[in-house]
């Protein structure tokens, strides 16, 4: 295995390109056990933390949603009034889309200010995007399937209250990580 901390060579560049090109999970196949263990989760977050961060303010955070907490999250998402009602309405967690069944589920949250007024909210979102991409690439490098998910209710008051989001924070997307069913067989 090449070390990629030296000046890149063709093998290192090919490995990086392979990871990037293979990252996009184009299937709706569920992500199942096994998921990342505690050490691997720590590595995923270390990869995320290496994202560009002008001002060193960490304009994002992740909230890990443990399997036993997903029912509460689903309920908060379902309370969003129409027209932003989700297709998850009145659906018990056991019948929810397979994305909710991924072994590892985290919610990416943007910190949009105003602690550092010279760093614009859009720059903060770009930093969050880089952190999410780093996490996804690391999960893929570990052999896991990884994908993003979103829901119109992420901006709803029930979710904000459940997660105790600050007025300057916004839930952006879910990160799902697990083993592709085909790989688990």
Query: Model confidence over 120-140: pLDDT tens digits?
Result: 777 888 889 999 999 999 999
Structure confidence at residue 109 (pLDDT): 95
Comparing C-alpha atoms, which of 100, 175, 98, 107 is closest to residue 144?
Answer: 175
Structure confidence at residue 54 (pLDDT): 72
Structure confidence at residue 27 (pLDDT): 58
Question: pLDDT digit string (tens) for 38-60?
Answer: 999 999 999 999 998 877 777 78
**Where is pLDDT greater, at 130 or 1?**
130
Does the N-terminal peptide bond of residue 138 adopt cis geometry, omega within 30 degrees of 0?
no
Going from N- to C-terminal start, the domains of the chain cover: 27-184
Average per-residue pLDDT in the chain?
80
pLDDT above 70: residue 5: no
Question: pLDDT digit string (tens) for 101-121?
Answer: 899 999 999 988 776 567 777
Q: What is the pTM of this model?
A: 0.80
Fold for the domain defined by 27-184? NADH Oxidase (3.40.109)
Structure confidence at residue 185 (pLDDT): 55
* C-beta atoms surrounding 3 within 10 Å: 7
Question: pLDDT digit string (tens) for 67-87?
Answer: 888 888 888 877 765 444 444
DSSP-derived secondary structure for 149-173: E--GGGGSHHHHHHHT--TTEEEEE
Q: How far apart are alpha carbons 66 and 38 in whole angstroms?
A: 12
The length of the chain, given as a count of residues: 185
Average pLDDT score over residue span 168-181? 91
Poorest-pLDDT segment among 24-28, 93-97, 135-139, 143-147 = 93-97
């Amino acid at each position: 295995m090449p070390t990629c901390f030296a000046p890149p060579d063709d093998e290192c560049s090919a490995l990086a390109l392979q990871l990037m090109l293979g990252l996009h999970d184009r299937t709706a196949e569920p992500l199942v056990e096994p998921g990342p263990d505690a050490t691997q989760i720590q590595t995923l977050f270390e990869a995320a933390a290496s994202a560009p961060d002008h001002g060193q303010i960490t304009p994002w955070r992740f909230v890990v949603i443990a399997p036993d907490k997903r029912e509460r999250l689903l309920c908060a998402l379902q309370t969003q009034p129409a027209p932003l009602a989700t297709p998850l309405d009145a659906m018990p967690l056991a019948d929810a889309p397979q994305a909710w069944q991924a072994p590892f589920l985290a919610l990416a949250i943007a910190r949009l200010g105003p602690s550092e007024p010279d760093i614009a909210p859009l720059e903060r979102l770009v930093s969050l995007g880089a952190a999410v991409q780093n996490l996804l690439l690391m999960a893929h490098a570990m052999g896991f399937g990884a994908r993003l998910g979103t829901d119109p209710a992420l901006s709803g008051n029930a979710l904000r209250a459940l997660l105790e989001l600050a007025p300057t924070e916004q839930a952006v997307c879910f990160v799902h990580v697990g083993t592709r069913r085909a790989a688990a067989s």
